[in-house]
Every structure is written in structure tokens, then in C-alpha cells.
Structure 1
Amino acid sequence: MLCVRLLLLVAVVGTDEVQYTGAVLEHEPYSSWEAGGTAILQENARIFLEHAALAKQQGADIIVFPEYGLTSNNLEGGDVLSLAQVVPHPADQVVLCLLNKTSSHTQVLRELSCGAAQLKLYLIVDLIELVHCSPNQILDCPDVGYYLYNTQVVLDRCGTLVARYRKKHLFLEAGITAGDESDATAVFTTDFGVTFTLQICFDILYESPGVANVEGGVRDVVMSTAWMDELPFLTAPQMFRGWSAGLGVNLLVANYHNTRKGMQGSGLFPGASGQLSSYTYDHHHSGSTLLVASLATNTSTGHSTRVSRSRKDLFEGGEQHRGAQQKPQPQEMVFKHEDLSRYNHLLLEEAASPITASLCHNDGLCCSVTYTFLGNTSTTEHYMLLAYSGLVEKGGGVYSMYTQVCSVVFCLSDEVNSCARVEGEDPPLASSFLLQEVSGMFEDLHVFPSVMSRDLTLVSEQLWNFDSIPLSSSNQQEAIIHVKKETDPLLSATLMGRWYQRDLVYHSGLR
């Protein structure tokens, strides 16, 4: 098999601007241990390549698969070692498809390499990586004689393994070792002229590797995840769209699909405000969903925009959303809920004309909202302004991180922990609450905006915009969501800041 690597610009939109077609697969993996771990790998790899072929037919250059999509996350049902693959070092430029001898720990990766070469398509695959070690030679080598990593690998159009990134920020992953290699290991450049950085799930809430590589000039990000939704700020579409918009980057994210555990929501999110996203967030659907969309990156200025609509699953209107065709039933909707009792909160009083309310919390964080109650519905609606600067805990208190939040949230009552409770609630067709603006003065330069409706869809960015104004005299910035037109009944409008350096201060005990 002969494969020649050529630098090919798929489409040139303007000076230094490259257009390419990306694809993501939301996937509910085969997970039965009845036939063993190898059978799990082979069946999911078969499904991956089947959808990769469909994506290629639609012009895709690169496709992303979910975290644990190859192995499933049913790791306690059998011998986890049988799910692991040995991954060559990218510097060796190994084409696994050309290997004559393979073992059970390389066979499935070889099949994926052959598929990438046959389809002439970049594959981004998350897997469990096996690394052998000797306890006699390596001080921290486990007694079992090997490490397991949660690893993303990149196979190019020739089937060559060109990148390997080991997840740094694990989330309750027993038996898996956190990666400690340079953020540069997450970066790769394609033959269509676009440089990407990799990241896996919980990584998105931290600076390394994604934000660090974006600040180094990378403008396109591919992410594998098994994301579990948390209201009111961290559902999948909120987090992914907000991260993309806040950093001004293209984000291609493939999620594990398991609505019984609150896992769904994948998409291709362009960084430029006002452009269209293509995403799926479906509490009814089971199985796999393929999304394909055209994206563009300015490789000179680092400015990323969406230049055309998805070739698949298009809908009229703003964000291109493949969601449920009917309202999800209460028992089908699974969410974690953040404890909001620590947040300063203000119940917004009814006002027939625009009114501004403000609320502050720690570290000088002050939030403001401008709104109106139209009085055109017969029911009373509760909305609160929330403000918080401090540590929040995730994973049942195992992890903590420093956030700053300004948010306007729908609530069932005047009690703060009734906010963003949608299970069992019928979203109304109209609302008396009309948001005009929410803003805050943040102490760090990483703020992620999101606006979500009570039917659990993203409000189109055709209806709102996000502005971030750094102050030259400090690390502060003013962040603003400005709503330009009336939206569907609002669930939340949020500015979520991550103060990465404050994480380090708290974790070192230097409070």
C-alpha cells in the first residue's frame, strides 16, 4: 500500500483561510462482556468505520469518536486488560495497517489504521492504552507491571499514527493513570493545513492542554467525551458552545450516548459569535448520531468562523439542532444539580419597563441584569440573578475548581435550589420574562457564555451576542451577554469564568 502525504488545502475562502469538513459521532457503545473484551473492541470499531465511511461520502476530512466509545465504560464487567491497546510513539510514524504480526493489544488499532487509509480520512479515537513497565526498573511502576491511560490517538489519511494524547484530568477513573506529558503532545497538523489540539472530557474545565494550546495559537480543537449533564451551568451543549465562543475557536466534540446516565450532546461549534452550530441533544434517541459540518479557520490571524451549514441533519432557524421530536418524559431526563445555596441570589421583581438589578459576591465579582416582565401570561414566573466567586466541587467532592459565575436562571419558586429544575416540567410556549443583558466584571480572562431555553435547546446566537472587554490595567475583564431579540422561554443566561491560577493557590494551601 502506497500513501503519499501532500499538503492539500481543501478550500481556500480568503487569504490564509482554510475550509474543511469535520464530523463527530455520538455513540452508544456495544458493551456486552459475553464474548469477551476483544469482541467489544471489534464491534465498536466496526461501527466507527461504518460511520466514518458515511462521513467520507459527505466530504469529511476528519472524524472524532467519543471517550470510551471503543471500549464502553462498562469496565468492571470483565478483564479490563483485554480492552487495552499498545500505542506506538507518534515520532516513529508507524502505519499499523502494514504490520504483519499483531497481538490482541494491537489488532483493533491496526483495523482502524487500515480504515483510515482506505477512506483517506483522519480518525480521532479514544482508547485505553497499555504501557508495560518493570517494577524493578521504574520506581512508581505498579506491581501489576503496567500502566493504563485514557488516550486519544490520531490516525492520518495514510493510517499513520501521528499523535497520542494521554488524558491529564481524570474523572473518577479507577485504575487509569493521569497523563503527565507536555501539552505539545496534544497538537497535530493535518494535510489540509489546519493545526488541532486534542482534549478529553474533564480536561475542558482546566487550562491544560486545550486552553494552553489555544493561547499558543491553535484555533481548532477535537474532543472526545463521556459528559454527564449538570444543571444549571454544565449541560453538554452549554459547556461546549460556551467554551467555543469564549475562546473563539472551532470545537468538534463527540460524546458518549447513554441517557440513563445523563450522557448526550455532541456537535461542531464554531467560535465566532453569530455563526451557526450543528449539534445533537436528544433525550429520546438511542444509538449513534453522525453530524457533518463545514468549518473555516484563518490560519494567519487565528480567527475561526463557520462558513456553511451542515450537510446532514439541517433544520431551519439558528443553531442547527438535532433534538427530540417530542418533549422528553420526566423519567427519561437525568441531570446532576449543583448546590446553589452557596450562591448569592436575588429574586427579580416584576417590572413593566426595563429595570437593572445588581448583585455581588467574593473577590469583587459584581453581576448585573437588565430585564422586563411583559405581563402577557397568566402564570407567575420566578427568575433569579446568581453571583458566585469561589471553589466548586465536582465528582462528589473529589475535585475542586475556582469559578466565577454571573447567571440569570428560571426557578420553580423563590428558593434558590429550585432553579433550573426541568424534570417533569412542560416548557411554556411563551414567557413574561424578557432578558436584555447580563454582565459581570471578572478577575480572569477566561469567560464562557451560554444561553439556554427551557426546552433544553441552545438559544441561537443570531438572537444574542457576547462581548469581552479586557481592562488594560489588570487581569480583569467585563463580560456581557446582550440579547438582541425576544427568545423562547429562558432557562438560563450564564457567564461562567474559570480562574485557573486561583486553583493552584487553593490546592497549594496558600489561601
Structure 2
Amino acid sequence: MWKGAAWRENQPIYGSLCLVPPSVEPVPRLLSSSSAVVHLCWALAQAPWSTARPAKHYIAAVYEHRSVLSPNPLDLTSCQQALKLMKQNLDIYEQQVMAAAQKGVQIIVFPEDGIHGFIFTRTSICPFLDFMPSPRLVRWNPCLEPFWFNDTEVLQCLSCMAIKGQMFLVANLGTKQPCLRSDPRCSHDRRYQFNTNVLFSHNGNLVACYRKHNLYFEAAFDIPAHVDLVNFDIPFVGQFGMFTCLDIPFFQPAIQLLRDSEVKHIVYPMTLMNQLPLLAAIEIQKAFQSAFGVSVLAANIQHPTLGMSDSGIHTPLKSFWYHDMDNSEGYLIIAQIATNPLGLVGIENATSETDPSHNKFLKILTGHLSCERDTQEVHCEEAAKWNMKAPPTFHSEMMYDNFILVPVWGKEGYVQVCSNGFCCHLLYERPTLSKELYFLGVFDGLHIVHGTYYIQVCALVKCGGLNFDTCGQEISEAQGLFDFHLWGNFIISYIFPLFLTSGYP
């Protein structure tokens, strides 16, 4: 089990890529017209929320949720049964909100699919959907104004939780909106169905919603006609942005949102299966934070049997995270976060000066090797000295892609490997040698499994064994220590530096 800071230098490495609320009576609110459905939530009176908090920091929480799942998600069930199942998850949410409130938490994030589950069809998910009005058009408090709209039971409950805990609350749920037959995008059932994040203020107002754009095997949901670029202000922090799971590597919405706004904090519900060695959830969260200098509040589902774990709060200075593939319990992460992290820094804003530590590293490793750095890559004029006995290149499949690989041997050196003019370079030094085989890999092309995407990847990864045919396998442990610099001539300035180690930090 991993807890604490995400990584530090000289650890075993097995993968790296380059307002006061109105008074609320403590009366239970029935969340369905049916008398057979139990009460889902309570709206309780609370002391006034104070804005007189430290300006430099705020307290955040993310909850990795062990969700109660439908035993037959492909089968259509009744609204009463759907509400009964969702109540079990919402009860856990409320417990975590109250636990967080005792610690002074000001904002909490819950994961994607945490309330209703997953693997639904378009029809079978229908009883689980709430109607979603636009927060931009309607100022609405679902807890205090439950009769404004029908089919909003989950929204009412989340709103009441936010009031009860006196905190901002982010959650994910399935929503529906009617559409006209004249709309060419409208389905035969005359409604849109969206995978939706919602934000409630501490007084229960619905502040913002985001509809997931980059769906991943989600037949139950529609892709919105337009990309939602959602940012919102929170009084004690500033601007937040919001998106969901697989949205994170795409220009829309994630990168465009940061580029076109003053967002410095991201709330990020997700349901992600870890795919080693290059796509572990914790790896992606920290990579996005490192690439753009923002704080990331990421909540994942906890289902080890499905390969799901890893949640965290990541800042430019430190990460607080949780990974446990053996336990099956949820976990609440709480951390104090600076309100003003570094912000978006792209290559186009970088200087041509080389970092002093980089210069020192080059000097130590290369001796007379003359290297200089421009905004795109490092050029080493005499790099061939390391390749007098150049190691062989070979091909291996990794993450369903055909990588070109070169072994990384010895205690120090420089190696490179290229594909279609895209080259990856590695300068490295090893304090001690381990009985393991590592490689530098390159991929430049279309990823065509589970979607079609053009990607460029440079990767330093441990092989599954000591033979070349084990390279690219899923691995989760390593003993090798590296000091290294990894770079490539990428065609885009937004690069995700993914880094994953084994063991405790």
C-alpha cells in the first residue's frame, strides 16, 4: 500500500514518461413520490459558514470510494430499486462529508460513477438518472427547493450534504435532458443522457456542472454537442476547473481550459483501471499537475478486483495519495493546499537557459560531451562516444502499441532511439546495478486499441525479466535506482511527465 508523497529521488523506478446559508429545519426530505422509498438525506441546521479563513491555504479532501454496484447493470430495474442502491452509496458519502467537516475541510471531491456504478446500457441506466437544469440559467438550491424539478433526488441529497458539512462538494452522477425530434443528435428515446460532474456551494446551491466529453466504453451516455469548458470561483481559493477521467490527456477540455482561463486548481472525479506500466491513475494525476503547475484533487473508485485504486491531492510542492490493491475499503485523503500554485507553464513560455542542475548533470556524466538545450530538445554534438558499442534495437508491444526499444546497460551512459524522425534520448547514472533489465522505448503513431489517438511516447521502463521478449509486460515492482534525464523532440509543447516508482516514498 502506498501512502504519502508520490515520489522522491533515488527510488526504484519501473516507468517514466516524458455567505451564510438560510436556516434549514432538521426535517427529512423524501426523495421520491413513492412511499416505498426510504429517505435518502437530511437537511440540518448549521452554523453560519465563515469566509474569514487563512488566505494562503485551504483544506481539501478527496474520497476513494468502494461503491456498491448493481448486481445486474445490463437489466432494467425500477426507479425504487435504483434509488435504494444509490442510497447506500450516498449514505457513505454523507459519512465522509461529516468526517471531513470535523477536520475543517472546505471542499470535498467524490469519484466518477461512485453513486450509480457502471457497465450500463442506455436503457438500463435510465432509472438512475437525474434531470439536470443548467446552473447558468437557473439559480437553484435542490435541498431547500426540492419541488422545482422532478427526478432530482440525488441532486437534492448532495445539496443537503453540502449544507450539513458546510463545504463545497463535487460529485459525479448520471443526468438526463429532453431533446426535440427535430434535433438531428436526439436519440429515439427523446432525451440526452450525460456523465455529469456537479459542484455545490457550502449553502447547497448548484454552482456548476460539467458533462464528460471523452467517453470511454460508456454506451449509456451521449457526447455533448459542444465541449464544456467549466471554471468557477470559490471564495477562499480562486478559480477551479473541472473535468472527468479520460478527459485529462486531451486538448479539449483539459488543456484548453487551463490555457484560456486563470484556473489554478482542478477537481477531477475518475473511474480508471490501472494499466501498467504507463497508465496508472496516480501516474496520470501527478503528471498533469507537474506539466501545468496546478493543484489536482483526484478521486478514483476503489475496486482492486477491477484494477481500480489511486486517488490523490497533488500540488507543486507535495502529493498526498493512496494506493491499495489488497484492501477493499474506501479512504479519505485530507490535505492543506496553497491557494496560489505555480500555474500553467508551457514550452512557449520557457527560457533558453539551461537549469544549473541540468548543466551539472551533463558535465558529470559526459565529461567532454558538449550539450546545449533549446526550447525543444538537448543537442549533444559528441553523443556518439557513448555509442561506440551501440546496443541493439528491437521491437516489443507495450500498452497495445509497437515500440522500438533499446536496452539500458551499465552504470552510466547515453542512449537514444528513434521512430519516424521522433527521437528519445536518455542520460543516466546508476549508484548500484541491480539484476534487472531496463529499456528506453519510443512510439510515434496511432494508438488504435480502445479508441484511435495519435501519440508520441518516450519511456524508460523495467522489463518483466532478463530477456528482450519480456520487455513491455505489466510489472509492479523494481529495485533499480536511476539519476536520469529523459527528453525527446516532441511536436507539441504540452508534455506529460509520467513517473512511477515501487515501494514507499
- The TM-score bracket by the shorter chain reads 0.7 to 0.9
Aligned residue number for residue 25 of structure 1: 63
**Which of 303, 328, 332 pairs up with 1:286?**
328
The answer to whether the Cα contact below 8 Å between 1:7 and 1:193 also exists between their aligned partners in 2 is no
Query: Deviation at 1:373?
Result: 7.0
1:53-104 per-residue CA deviation (whole Å, 9 max, x = no partner) reads 1111111111111111010115359942110001121021100112253777
Q: Against the structure 1 CA distance between its residues 260 and 79, is the aligned structure 2 distance closer, same or farther, given a 3 Å change threshold? A: same
Q: Which deviations, in whole Å up to 9, do the C-alpha atoms of 1:359-400 show, x marking residues without a partner?
A: 22224333223233734x5xx3211011222222342xxx12
Partner Cα separation in structure 2 for residue 141 and residue 345 of structure 1: 47
- The residue identity in structure 1 corresponding to 2:339 is T
Letter in 1 for 2:487: S
Alpha-carbon offset, residue 176 of structure 1: 0.7
Q: Which residue of the partner structure matches residue 166 of structure 1?
A: 211
Flag structure 1 segments of 5+ consecutive residues without an equivalent.
14-18, 305-335, 461-511
The CA distance in 2 between the partners of 1:381 and 1:230, in whole Å, is 21
What value does the CA root-mean-square deviation take over the aligned residues?
Answer: 2.7
Query: Is the counterpart of residue 203 in structure 1 residue 247 in structure 2?
Result: yes
Among 427, 436, 461, which residue is 1:409 paired with?
461
Q: Contact 2:49–2:202 (CA<8 Å) still a contact in 1?
A: no
What's the counterpart of residue 372 of structure 2? none
Match of 2:22 in 1: 2
Q: Find the partner of 1:189 among 233, 244, 247.
A: 233
Offset from partner CA, 1:409-461 (integer Å, 9 cap, x none) = 111133255335326xxx46x54x53333222322111122332244x6xx5x
Q: In 2, Cα distance between the equivalents of 1:374 and 1:26?
A: 37
User: Which has the larger displacement, 98-107 or 158-167?
Assistant: 98-107
d(CA) in 1 for partners of 2:172, 2:332: 17
1:62 equivalent in structure 2: 107
- The answer to whether the Cα contact below 8 Å between 2:200 and 2:207 also exists between their aligned partners in 1 is yes
Residues 139-195 of structure 1: per-residue CA shift (max 9 Å, x gap): 3321112111000011111111110110000001003101233543x2111121321
State how far apart, in whole Å, the 2-side matches of 1:143 and 1:436 are: 56
| Deviation string, structure 1 residues 15-47 (Cα, Å, up to 9, x no partner) | xxxx11111111121124697111122221111
Q: Distance in 1 between matches of 2:431 and 2:493?
A: 32
In our comparison, the structure showing a higher alpha carbon Rg is: 2
Report what 2:147 is aligned to: 101
TM-score by length of 1: 0.73
The AA in structure 2 aligned to 1:25 is Y
- The Cα of 1:9 is off from its aligned counterpart by 6.2
Q: Could you say which residue in structure 1 is the equivalent of 2:269?
A: 224
| Counterpart pick for 1:130 among 176, 190, 204 | 176
In 2, Cα distance between equivalents of 1:444 and 1:58: 42
Report if aligned partners of 1:153, 1:163 keep a CA contact under 8 Å in 2. Answer: yes
| Aligned equivalent of 1:348 | 408
Aligned amino acid, residue 413 of structure 1: L
Whose RCO is larger (CA < 8 A, sep 6+)?
2
Is residue 298 from structure 1 mapped to residue 340 from structure 2 by the alignment?
Answer: yes
Given candidates 184, 202, 209, the residue that maps to 1:139 is 184
Instruction: Sort the Cα spacing of 1:79 and 1:385 in 2 relative to 1 into closer, same or farther, 3 A.
Output: closer
Report sequence identity in percent.
24
Q: In structure 2, do the counterparts of structure 1 residues 39 and 337 end up closer, same or farther at CA, with 3 Å as the change threshold? A: farther
For residues 303 and 206 of structure 1, the distance between their equivalents in structure 2, rounded to whole angstroms, comes to 16
Distance 1:70 1:133 in 2: 25
Contact 1:370-1:437 within 8 A present in 2 as well? yes
Which residue in the other structure is 1:463 paired with? none
Q: Render the CA deviation track for 1:308-334: whole Å, top value 9, x for unaligned.
A: xxxxxxxxxxxxxxxxxxxxxxxxxxx
Question: For residue 58 of structure 2, what is the amino acid of its counterpart?
Answer: Y
Residue of structure 1 in register with 2:425 after alignment: 367
Q: Which amino acid aligns with 2:62?
A: V
Q: Is residue 231–residue 337 contact of structure 1 (8 Å, CA) maintained in 2?
A: no
Once residues 156 and 229 of structure 1 are traced to their aligned partners in structure 2, the CA distance between those partners, rounded to angstroms, is 32
Equivalent residue number for residue 11 of structure 1: 54
Unaligned runs of 5+ in 2: 1-20, 24-46, 72-76, 346-396
Contact 1:367 1:441 in 2 (8 A): no
Provide the C-alpha distance between the structure 1 equivalents of 2:171 and 2:499, rounded to a whole number of angstroms.
31
Match of 2:482, SS? strand
1:303 and 1:56, CA in 2 relative to 1: closer, same or farther beyond 3 A? farther
Bigger drift between 254-263 and 93-102 goes to: 93-102
Change (3 A) 1:294 1:229: same
Q: C-alpha displacement at 1:5, in angstroms?
A: 10
What CA deviation, in whole Å up to 9, does each residue of 1:283-317 have, x standing for no partner? 01113111011111328x7479xxxxxxxxxxxxx
- Alignment-derived partner of residue 387 in structure 2: none
